Amino acid sequence: MRPESDIQQLIQIEGPKWHNILLRNNSGALKDIGGRVVRFGLGNISKKQNETSKSSDLIGVRTFVVTQEMVGQMMGQFTAIEVKAEGWKRNLKDKRENAQQAFIEWVRLRGGVAGFAANEEQYREIMRTRYGI
């Protein structure tokens, strides 16, 4: 089975085929030289918030051209892909995965594209499902 890091790189290579440039979103916290906690990563504003919503591994913008009244204008759509190791199965009892799912739902409710992917085909399925392809 391929590790998460390999899957992530393959999805990043696949992204441009869907007009989707995906960037790694490292997230976490550490103490600086003065002992202050420094949080990093999209939306990682507090420990409490991070326990309920964890931003995805890959963040990007899918570009597309809108039809009708906006013909010809380039638009961007927020994309968030939570990458898992090959063979991964969703565990509803896992607090971390539930926080990741909460972020995915937050993105989807606002018109973005988001989901879990443990291989390139699952990434393609996220894109196909969202666009009826």
The predicted pLDDT at position 64 comes to: 78
Instruction: Indicate whether this model's pTM tops 0.85.
Output: yes
What residues contact residue 101 under an 8 Å CB cut-off, 6+ apart? 116
The predicted pLDDT at position 112 comes to: 93
4-131: what fold?
Answer: Trna Endonuclease; Chain: A, domain 1 (3.40.1350)
Q: Is 13 left (phi over 0), alpha (psi -120 to 50) or beta?
A: alpha
Ranges of the chain with pLDDT below 50? none
Tens digit of each residue's pLDDT (9 = 90 or more) over 18-46: 999 999 999 999 999 999 999 999 999 99
The predicted pLDDT at position 23 comes to: 97
Cβ atoms of 41 and 28 closer than 8 Å: yes
Only one residue has tokens 């199965």, namely 89
The predicted pLDDT at position 132 comes to: 56
DSSP bridge pairs for 76: 63
Cβ atoms of 27 and 40 closer than 8 Å: yes
